[in-house]
Amino acid sequence: MKFSQRSRFAGNVIEEEDAFAADLVRSGKQIIKLNRGDPVAYFPTPKYIVDAYIRALKSSKTGYSFHAGVPELREAIALRHKKLYNLDVGAESVVVTQGVSEAIIFVNSMLVDTGNRAVISRPYYPLYLSGLQINGGAPVFADYRNGEIDVDLLRRRIGRTKGIKYMIFANPSNPTGSVMERKTLKEIVDLANDLNILIISDEIYDEILYNNSEFTSISEVSGGIPAVIFGGASKCFDATGFRIGYALIPGEDELSLEIKKTIADYAKMRLSSNTTAQYAFADAIKDEKNHRIAIRGMVNEISERINFAYDLIRESRRMDISERPRGAFYLFPKVDIKGMDFKNDRDMIRKLLVEEGVQITRGSGFGAQDNIRIVSLPPKDILELAIRKIDKFLDRHSR
Ligand SMILES: Cc1ncc(COP(=O)(O)O)c(C=O)c1O
């Protein structure tokens, strides 16, 4: 059977070696997994959220729910953005999805036809590119310089290209951990306004901030131009397995209203997202006291760990990192792959697994083939062991 052309874009680079790693584990090898950004692996979901889930279960919140999300959750999300960013929106501006992943898939399916273009910041979160390409779209890349999207360069790169569908970026960034300055966001808004480009700001890490970073939500600077904001339970509420995310569309202009309606139509196709988890997430957002305690504890610990790992990489002979991360929980150092005896970075990642039992993700999956992505959530002793192993391995393979 011949599968569709588009199906070759299905998949996820972050998990591409999981089956191979599982085989190694079956054959008795121990693997340190630093490929998946799952906080729950090291920070159990806070008890107050688990209790909320149990309460929802016990009160039989187990049926289908409204396709765009239960009112309690949509209201709680709108209120969250009011409290954090002084944004005045109602529940009808929120569509609840099965993770931000589903929101990314929805917006691409909704906006992109074959031959269309969209701007993707680079390095990118892998689903931004595959979500675009699976619908026949092609990227125009917005590269970062010193932790900020280089807006002048992007303007030149767009040139006379017409009809760009949207621009997407993660702020804070996965994989670099950069948090953009308000000034850059304003420049992005100006560009989007000039060229009529819809802004999609993935703010899923908006509370995972450290090293004196100040976060600005796009809604604080967008001045009413159409924008879509992504957020969810996975990272800031440490509940990846809930599979709850959301798209928030603050505008009341014609395009924004059309987006709200059409994302909701997409949501109808899969009936509803996890109902129990929606109620639990609504309670988790509303319980601000417990949330503050939980997020502070987790972020303090992540900050300790990632700064420790960053300093170790700074000392490394074979990895190079300039920008100290200020958000999310990844390190994205450069590696001189051309000066090593690997066929390519995928070959390097596989050999690292076999020889040292460390699983990380290749930079080419994020649009940066001279980099590697290291999830920096584990305790310091594990991070130290892994980084020393990676360094020793790279040293051994250097020409
Ligand atoms: C930037 C970014 N967006 C979206 C996602 C997907 O998150 P979700 O669990 O909500 O599907 C991730 C997951 O790592 C991410 O890093």
Query: In this structure, is residue 251 part of a structural domain?
Result: yes
Q: Is 33 helix (H, G, I), strand (E, B) or coil?
A: strand
Q: Is the CB of 99 under 6 A from ligand 1?
A: yes
- Determine the distance separating the centroid of ligand 1 and the alpha carbon of 159, expressed in angstroms: 31
Task: Report which protein residue has its CA nearest ligand 1's atom 14.
Answer: 37
From residue 338, give the alpha-carbon distance in Å to each of 182, 370, 396, 399.
37, 8, 14, 9
E strand or H helix that includes residue 315: helix 288-315
Q: Is the CB of 101 under 6 A from ligand 1?
A: yes
Q: What is the pLDDT of residue 326?
A: 97
DSSP letter at 327?
Answer: B
Phi/psi at 98 (5° precision): -85, 80
pLDDT (tens digit, 9 = 90+) per residue, 334-386? Answer: 999 999 999 999 999 999 999 999 999 999 999 999 999 999 999 999 999 99
Task: Tell me which of 251, 269, 287 is where a domain ends.
Answer: 287
Same domain assignment for residues 239 and 384: no
pLDDT (tens digit, 9 = 90+) per residue, 85-129? Answer: 999 999 999 999 999 999 999 999 999 999 999 999 999 999 999
What confidence category does residue 44 fall into, taking pLDDT thresholds of 50, 70 and 90?
Answer: very high
Query: In this structure, is residue 52 part of a structural domain?
Result: no
From residue 381, give the alpha-carbon distance in Å to each of 21, 376, 378, 388.
21, 11, 8, 11
pLDDT at residue 399 above 90? no
**Percentage of the chain surpassing pLDDT 70?**
100
Two structure tokens written together for 163: 């009809």
Structural domain of residue 18, as residue ranges?
5-44+291-394
User: Residue ranges of the alpha helices (H) in 40-177?
Assistant: 47-58, 71-85, 99-111, 126-133, 151-158
Same domain assignment for residues 166 and 90: yes
- Determine the distance separating the centroid of ligand 1 and the alpha carbon of 184, expressed in angstroms: 23
Q: What is the longest distance spanned by two Cα atoms in the chain?
A: 63
Same domain assignment for residues 365 and 256: no
pLDDT (tens digit, 9 = 90+) per residue, 243-252? Answer: 999 999 999 9
CATH number at residue 148: 3.40.640.10
From residue 57, give the alpha-carbon distance in Å to each of 46, 52, 60, 256.
17, 9, 5, 35
To test the pocket of ligand 1, the residue of 204, 236, 302 to mutate (highest count of ligand atoms within 8 Å of its CB) is 204
Two structure tokens written together for 142: 């917005």
DSSP one-letter string for 203-269 = -TTTT-B-TT-----HHHHSTT--EEEEEESTTTTS-GGG--EEEE----SHHHHHHHHHHHHHHHH
Query: In this structure, is residue 53 part of a structural domain?
Result: no
Same domain assignment for residues 282 and 298: no
Query: In this structure, is residue 56 part of a structural domain?
Result: no
To test the pocket of ligand 1, the residue of 101, 207, 208, 240 to mutate (highest count of ligand atoms within 8 Å of its CB) is 101
Rg (CA), the chain: 21
Task: Tell me which of 246, 261, 287 is where a domain ends.
Answer: 287
231, 232, 236, 240 alpha-carbon torsion, rounded to 10°: -140
Distance, in Å, from the CA atom of 349 to the CA atom of 361, rounded to the nearest integer, reads 7
pLDDT (tens digit, 9 = 90+) per residue, 267-319? Answer: 999 999 999 999 999 999 999 999 999 999 999 999 999 999 999 999 999 99
Query: In this structure, is residue 228 part of a structural domain?
Result: yes
Distance, in Å, from the CA atom of 218 to the CA atom of 247, rounded to the nearest integer, reads 13
**In the chain, what is the straight-line distance between the N-terminal and C-terminal CA atoms, in Å?**
45
Task: Tell me which of 242, 263, 287 is where a domain ends.
Answer: 287
Q: What is the pLDDT of residue 53?
A: 98
Q: What is the pLDDT of residue 224?
A: 86
CATH number at residue 336: 3.90.1150.10
Q: Which amino acid is at 150?
A: D
pLDDT, the chain, mean: 97
CA 166 to chain centre: 17
pLDDT (tens digit, 9 = 90+) per residue, 155-202? Answer: 999 998 988 999 999 999 999 999 999 999 999 999 999 999 999 999
